[in-house]
Amino acid sequence: MKRFVHNPILEPIKSHSWENNSVFNAAAIYSSGQVHIVYRAQGTDMVSRLGLAISNDGLNITERLDAPIFTPIHHAERDGCEDPRLTLMGDECIMAYTAYRNHDFPIIFQISLTTINLKDFVNRDWNWKERMLPFPGVRNKDAVILPGKVDGKYVMFHRIEPSICISYSEDLKRWYDFKSIMEPRDKMWDSVKIGAAGTPIELNEGYLFIYHGVDEKKHYSLGAALLDKTNPEKVLYRSEKPILTPCEQYECVGDVPNVVFSCGNVQLDDEVIIYYGGADSVLCGASYELNELLPKK
């Protein structure tokens, strides 16, 4: 991947108490000619809230809001709303995120889902709908909704350690049929645990699915997989080597060292832009030409 030359693209703002510690893992959608980047921010209290930054070209940040656009309200997320992933389906924008509370033992993090009308999102009318816990009390994270239904059902990828699972739903509320579709691979860059990165991208060849993998040294890298379009449980291809692995200073030094972690990507023409957190501290970007990312025939 080609890292943006001006990485990191977002850094904490000292005068904003909600984002003065770290700004990292971000969702991204392309709409109305702009990339909308919804990033995770931590301030003095270390509670994760979500902020919004806009880019006209995907590379440069043109605007950044002063206040968070999404904050914890629910008992299950009182210590943070983490790692958002956004999926656009028609005029509905679905957000999956990790609801976190650290007052229990074992610590509970679980998936939460909510939706917002695209028009409201773009107009910044933050009418987020009901927040739903699809698997109440189950330690579960890295959820993302596929940007297309399969047999009339919504499809969710999520991570029950250490694997990537799939589940289906008719209404986003009740989820069923969950099973593991991708497992860690022994002695490789993704040997300990794996989870979804950003929203899968629909291509002629299948769904391009970028995911993260953790190795024995606790290094977080990104890799690519290709999923069958009509049956996304079927993994057609999985990269042997990571497509991005921590090596720059802003990826190796920070709140959690040696981490590149992505929750969002957009396709602009023939290029995929991936937004990723560096060392759980700053937000970065990298890009790939699509024809380089796809397996050669």
Whether omega for the bond prior to residue 8 falls within 30 degrees of 0, making it cis, is yes
25 vs 115, beta carbon nearer ligand BMA: 25
Triad 76, 80, 86: Cα angle to 5°: 95
We find the least distance from the C-beta atom of residue 22 to ligand BMA, in angstroms, to be 10
Phi, psi (degrees; rounded to nearest 5) at 123: -85, 0
Q: How far apart are CA 283 and CA 25, in angstroms?
A: 7
User: What's the min distance (Å) between Cβ of 11 and ligand BMA?
Assistant: 16
Task: Rank residues 97 and 175 by Cβ distance to ligand BMA and give the closer one.
Answer: 97
SS (H, E, C) the chain: CEECCCCCCECCCCCCCCCCCEEEEEEEEEECCEEEEEEEEECCCCCEEEEEEEECCCCCEEEECCCCCECCCCHHHCCEEEEEEEEEECCEEEEEEEEEECCCCCCEEEEEEEEEEHHHHHHCCCCCCCCECCCCCCCCEEEEECCCCECCEEEEEEEECCEEEEEEECCCCCCEEEEEEECCCCCCCCCCEEEECCCCEEECCEEEEEEEEECCCCCEEEEEEEECCCCCCCEEEECCCCCECCCCHHHHCCCCCCEEEEEEEEEECCEEEEEEEECCCEEEEEEEEHHHHCCCC
What is the contact surface with ligand BMA in residues (CB under 6 A)?
25, 82-83, 220, 256, 259, 261, 277, 280
CB of 100 to ligand BMA, least distance (A): 8
Q: Which is nearer to ligand BMA, 207 or 220 (CB)?
A: 220
Closest to ligand BMA by CB, 161 or 183: 161
Q: Which is nearer to ligand BMA, 18 or 39 (CB)?
A: 39
Work out how close the CB of 56 gets to ligand BMA at its nearest, in angstroms, rounded to a whole number: 27
Q: Give me the least distance between CB of 140 and ligand BMA, in Å please.
A: 12
* Comparison of 18 and 276: residue with beta carbon closer to ligand BMA: 276
Minimum gap (Å) between residue 24 Cβ and ligand BMA: 6
Question: Smallest distance, Å, CB 45 to ligand BMA?
Answer: 17
In the complex with ligand BMA, the residue whose CB is nearer, 202 or 255, is 255
CB of 97 to ligand BMA, least distance (A): 10
148/162 with CB nearer ligand BMA: 162
